[in-house]
Structures are given as structure tokens and as C-alpha cells.
């Protein structure tokens, strides 16, 4: 459920007409709904009650500090994959004890920063990383809380590029190695071995692979305990899919939580989750204006948004619903929808049935709150797209448009060209 709907013929976000935001801020622009973010977080967290779980929002899905702060005020933690994401989470008010630091290529500087900050858990992905972290923790005189990331050889997800759990993926270590590394960490005075972690993919629409991976996790934790090694927590990752309009609904948080309860029935262990898409995707849209139409047997609608603003269709063939901001009454026709960037990859969709659109009309790309603005760039010397947060009948720009004049301030000619 989300808070984008037509009211009196105008597509609204909560109590605000999206067309009013487009007029005030310009297009393209991302718009997020506070009520939807809060609701998605609450529904996910409450699905596990009475079990108290740590829900660490995957900041990679939407790293705007206003979005993170909205969730932090509900009690959410943060799953981060870089020093920058940790800094954003801290700045947004997520307490360090609710921050998880994941990722396959953490540098020594990043690990030291995380240890100093006192994060909840560092998810370690290799023996080399474990050795380095132990040394760093010794150097700063702190004990680093760790989990070992397991690669369970179970893949899943909406696209090959976002499946992470097969043994040939770059993530984690095999279950056998995980046991060995965990035992090694448990013996190390500079490390606090607290758990195991897993994440098998994103946009997962089937519970079976998740259940298979979670069963691997339970049996590994049981093995450790039967060997007399303490383990307090399991981090079960993110990955639950969302409806993108053209596909059947994925499992609900309630169905997902019921599966988790089934797997961990009678097993006393702390659980963490790292949902990103499930929290943010349907809480955001990308607004865009029609620049003009190319006349073809199948018309081409050229928008002012491009692949640099929303790259998911170009790299994952992703589907995003497109809704006119003014509710249409005329019948739909097949069109292609493209951006202005000079490559054919800058095509949002082909052969889509849409109501008639004309130059100047406004549209919204739906389900764009996750992996939208965070993946935007300035390709083709375009401005970096702004972000707006709505709450009730209020809205405010929470990242302003970074225009080309400002971008140019970062650039200079080398000294040898200056004379
Ligand atoms: N935890 C870890 C370790 C992850 O790698 C990811 C996502 C998540 C949590 C959050 O997964 P979610 O709940 O959002 O599915 N750019 C792609 C998605 C990449 C996801 C990468 N990892 C897209 O636009 O579809």
C-alpha cells in the first residue's frame, strides 16, 4: 500500500498534488512519501512480533538523509556498505549501535572508521578481511563486533545482476569456511564474534530460496553451538520484492515473517533484516515532463527525464509504471517512452499502452523510491536530479538540483594550459 493516488483527477502524494511540486521544483524530480515510508517500516517490523528484530534499512536503496531520518525516528537501524553510507546514517540520527556495515571491498580506512564509530556489526566477507579487521581493532584498542557473511549457494532475485547468493558470486564464504572463520574470530580477543549473515539477492518474489538459505543459517548456528561456540545473532539480509505494476504481488511481509518463524521455531537467536526496496520503492516516484513527440507509426514520447535520472530500465530491463499526473479519460495507445540522452539505451519502455500525451504534460514513474536517485548521475552534462519529501500537505526539497554551473566549480584546467 502507498500514498500516491488520484484525487479529483490529480495524482497526489499524500495531501499534495504532484503537479504543484513539479511547478515549484521543476522536472525531473524525485518525490517521496513520509507516510508510505513509515507504514512500510512498521508493517515489516510488526510482522515479526512478538519477536523483537533489528530492521536495518539498506541505505543503498535510498541514501537521502531525510529519508533515513524518517525511518530512524520510527526506530529503524541502517545497513551500510561504505564509509559514506555510515556517515549519512549517523547524520540522519541512526544510533551507531543499530548500524550494520556490509560489503565485499571495505578498505582499511573504512573498517577503522566503523570500529571507531562503534557500529553494531561488521559483516566480514573473507579471511583476509577478518585478519585486517583484527589488526585494526587491536590498533585502536577496541573489540570489533563481527558476523561472517555466508554464501549459501542459493541464488535468487529479479535479474542476474542482482542475485548474490550463488557460489560463483563475489559475496561471502562457503558454509564450511564460515564455520572455520567464525571459530577463528571467537578466539580473537580483538573481535567479538556475534553472528552469521546472509543476503541472496534482491527483488525476490518466491519464498523458497530464502527459506533454503535461512535453513542453512540455522543449521550453521546449531553446529557452532554444539561445538561450544557462542553465537547470538543471524543477519538474514534484505531482498523481499515489491510489485512493479506488471507482475503478480510478491509475498507479503506477513508471509515472509511466517516463513522466518517456521525456520527458527524453538531456536533462541537474535535476528536482523536489511530491507531496502521493500521499504522505499513504492514510497517514491520520479516526476517528468513530456518534451515533445516523435511521429512514428508507434509514437515516441520524449521526456525530460533520462537514464541518468532513473537507470533501472536501461541496466536491468526494469519495468516502472508510468502515470499521467492528470487522470486520463481518453483511451490508451501504444507508445515508446524515451529520454533525451544520445544512446538507444535511454529508452524507458517500448510498446507501452498509455493515454494520449502531449508536449508539456507531466507524468510520474512509479515505484522509483528505491535504487532511483541513488543511482543517478550527471551523464550528458545534465543536472543531478533533486529530491522532495512530502508529509501530509507539506513538501520540501531535501536535495536540491545540482546544476551544471555548480558542477563546473569542481573542474579546472591544468596549470600547463593556463597561459
Ligand atoms: N543487504 C545486502 C547485503 C545487499 O546487498 C542488499 C542489496 C540489501 C541488503 C537490500 O536488498 P533489497 O531489500 O533492497 O532487495 N540496484 C539494484 C538492486 C541492487 C541490490 C543490491 N543489494 C536494482 O535497482 O534493482
84/93 Cα distance (integer angstroms):
14
The CA 302 to ligand 1 mean position distance, Å, reads 30
* Mean pLDDT calculated for residue range 343-351: 97
Confidence of residue 154 (pLDDT cuts 50, 70, 90): confident
61 lines ligand 1 (CB under 6 A): yes
276 lines ligand 1 (CB under 6 A): yes
Contact 243, 278 (CB under 8 A): no
* Mean pLDDT calculated for residue range 241-260: 91
The CA 115 to ligand 1 mean position distance, Å, reads 24
The predicted pLDDT at position 169 comes to 78
The CA 236 to ligand 1 mean position distance, Å, reads 13
239 lines ligand 1 (CB under 6 A): yes
The predicted pLDDT at position 161 comes to 75
* Mean pLDDT calculated for residue range 278-282: 98
Dihedral sign of CA atoms 194, 198, 202, 205 in order:
negative
Question: Looking at ligand 1, which atom is closest to the CA of residue 159?
Answer: 25
The predicted pLDDT at position 246 comes to 67
146-160, 286-300, 353-367: which has the minimum mean pLDDT? Answer: 146-160
Phi-psi region at 14: left, alpha or beta (left = phi > 0; alpha = psi -120 to 50): left
* Mean pLDDT calculated for residue range 152-163: 78
Model confidence at 263: pLDDT above 70: yes
The CA 26 to ligand 1 mean position distance, Å, reads 29
pLDDT digits 0-9 by tens, 197-235: 999 999 999 999 999 999 999 999 999 999 999 999 999
The CA 201 to ligand 1 mean position distance, Å, reads 7
In the chain, what percentage of residues exceed pLDDT 90?
Answer: 92
Mutual angle of helices 127-140 and 108-117, in 10-degree steps = 50
The predicted pLDDT at position 156 comes to 79
| Mutational test site, ligand 1, from 157, 251, 277, max ligand atoms within 8 Å of CB | 277
* Mean pLDDT calculated for residue range 158-164: 75
Catalytic residue from among 140, 230, 342, 404: 342
**Do the strands 233-235 and 270-273 form a parallel or antiparallel pair, or are they unpaired?**
parallel
281 lines ligand 1 (CB under 6 A): no
250 lines ligand 1 (CB under 6 A): no
pLDDT digits 0-9 by tens, 123-137: 999 999 999 999 999
The CA 205 to ligand 1 mean position distance, Å, reads 14
Contact 249, 285 (CB under 8 A): no
277 lines ligand 1 (CB under 6 A): yes
The predicted pLDDT at position 166 comes to 79
**Do the strands 284-294 and 300-303 form a parallel or antiparallel pair, or are they unpaired?**
antiparallel
Model confidence at 331: pLDDT above 70: yes
Mutual angle of helices 127-140 and 175-186, in 10-degree steps = 20
* Mean pLDDT calculated for residue range 395-406: 98
pLDDT, mean over the chain? 96
* Mean pLDDT calculated for residue range 328-339: 96
Clarify whether 342 is annotated catalytic: yes
Q: What is the DSSP letter of 376?
A: -
Q: In the chain, count of helices (H) and strands (E)? A: 12, 20
pLDDT digits 0-9 by tens, 63-75: 999 999 999 999 9
274 lines ligand 1 (CB under 6 A): yes
**Domains along the chain with CATH numbers:** 4-31+281-408 (2.40.37.10), 103-273 (3.20.20.10)
Model confidence at 1: pLDDT above 90: no
> What is the gyration radius of the CA atoms in the chain, in angstroms?
23
The predicted pLDDT at position 244 comes to 87
Model confidence at 245: pLDDT above 90: no
* Mean pLDDT calculated for residue range 323-330: 95
- Atom 19 of ligand 1 has which residue's CA nearest to it? 162
Model confidence at 164: pLDDT above 80: no
The residue among 345, 335, 351 whose CA lies nearest residue 302 is: 335
Q: Is the pTM of this model over 0.85?
A: yes
Model confidence at 419: pLDDT above 80: no
Contact 283, 76 (CB under 8 A): no
Model confidence at 162: pLDDT above 80: no
149 lines ligand 1 (CB under 6 A): no
Mutual angle of helices 253-263 and 207-226, in 10-degree steps = 30
Amino acid at each position: 500500500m502507498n500514498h500516491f493516488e488520484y484525487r479529483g483527477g490529480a495524482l497526489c502524494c499524500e495531501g499534495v498534488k504532484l503537479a504543484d511540486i513539479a511547478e515549484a521544483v521543476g522536472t525531473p524530480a524525485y518525490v517521496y512519501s513520509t507516510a508510505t515510508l513509515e507504514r512500510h517500516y512498521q508493517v515489516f517490523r510488526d510482522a515479526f512480533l512478538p519477536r523483537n528484530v533489528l530492521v536495518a534499512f539498506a541505505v543503498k536503496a535510498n541514501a537521502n538523509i531525510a529519508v533515513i531520518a524518517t525511518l530512524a525516528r520510527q526506530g529503524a537501524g541502517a545497513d551500510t556498505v561504505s564509509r559514506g553510507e555510515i556517515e549519512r546514517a549517523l547524520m540522519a540520527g541512526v544510533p551507531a549501535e543499530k548500524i550494520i556495515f556490509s560489503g565485499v571491498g571495505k578498505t582499511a580506512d573504512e573498517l577503522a572508521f566503523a570500529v571507531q564509530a562503534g557500529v553494531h556489526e561488521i559483516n566480514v566477507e573473507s579471511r583476509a578481511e577478518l585478519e585486517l579487521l583484527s589488526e585494526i581493532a587491536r590498533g585502536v584498542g577496541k573489540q570489533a563486533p563481527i558476523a561472517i557473511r555466508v554464501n549459501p549457494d542459493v541464488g535468487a532475485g529479479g535479474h542476474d545482476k542482482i542475485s548474490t547468493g550463488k557460489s560463483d558470486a563475489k559475496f561471502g564464504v562457503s558454509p564450511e569456511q564460515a564455520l572455520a572463520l567464525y571459530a577463528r574470530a571467537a578466539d580473537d580477543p580483538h573481535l567479538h564474534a556475534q553472528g552469521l549473515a546472509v543476503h541472496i539477492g534482491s527483488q525476490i518474489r518466491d519464498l523458497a530460496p530464502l527459506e533454503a538459505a535461512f535453513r542453512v543459517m540455522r543449521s550453521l548456528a546449531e553446529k557452532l553451538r554444539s561445538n561450544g561456540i557462542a553465537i547470538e545473532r543471524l543477519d538474514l539480509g534484505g531482498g523481499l520484492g515489491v510489485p512493479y505494476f506488471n507482475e503478480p504481488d510478491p509475498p507479503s511481509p506477513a508471509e515472509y515473517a511466517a516463513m522466518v518463524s517456521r525456520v527458527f521455531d524453538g531456536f533462541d537467536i537474535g535476528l536482523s533484516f536489511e530491507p531496502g526496496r521493500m521499504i522505499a520503492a513504492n514510497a517514491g516516484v520520479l516526476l517528468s515532463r513530456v518534451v515533445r513527440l516523435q511521429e512514428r507509426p508507434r509514437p515516441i514520447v520524449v521526456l525530460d527525464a533520462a537514464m541518468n535520472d532513473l537507470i533501472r530500465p536501461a541496466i536491468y530491463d526494469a519495468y516502472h509504471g508510468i502515470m499521467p499526473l492528470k487522470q486520463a479519460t481518453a483511451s490508451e495507445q501504444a507508445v515508446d517512452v524515451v529520454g533525451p540522452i544520445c544512446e538507444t539505451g535511454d529508452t524507458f519502455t517500448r510498446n507501452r499502452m498509455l493515454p494520449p500525451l502531449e508536449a508539456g504534460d507531466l507524468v510520474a514513474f512509479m515505484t522509483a523510491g528505491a535504487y532511483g536517485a541513488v543511482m543517478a548521475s550527471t551523464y550528458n552534462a545534465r543536472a543531478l536530479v533533486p529530491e522532495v519529501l512530502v508529509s501530509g500537505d507539506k513538501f520540501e526539497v531535501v536535495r536540491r538540483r545540482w546544476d551544471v554551473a555548480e558542477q563546473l566549480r569542481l573542474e579546472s584546467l591544468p596549470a600547463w594550459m593556463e597561459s
